[in-house]
Amino acid sequence: MPIYEYQCEKCHHCFEVLVFSSDDETATCPECSHRRVKRLLSSTCFIGSSGGSGCSKSAPKGFS
């Protein structure tokens, strides 16, 4: 089953969501419970990262 990656538009936290059906629009940020998250088309957040915890550092500044 597909795993989609999302990034929170509020705190820029990246997280993965297992998608069982078309429920992907219901994803919420696990860090701040913000509902406005965007789905990433690729592993943008995890490029060059082995731990996957450096996500917020690589978030683009000025992003809104």
29 binds Zn ion (CB under 5 A): yes
Q: Which of 11, 18, 43, 54 binds Zn ion (CB under 5 A)?
A: 11
Question: 3-state SS string over 1-64?
Answer: CCEEEEEECCCCCEEEEECCCCHHHHCCCCCCCCCCEEEECCCHHHCCCCCCCCHHHHCCCCCC
Closest to Zn ion by CB, 1 or 61? 61
16 binds Zn ion (CB under 5 A): no
Q: Which residues bind Zn ion (CB under 5 A)?
A: 8, 10-11, 13, 29, 31-32, 34
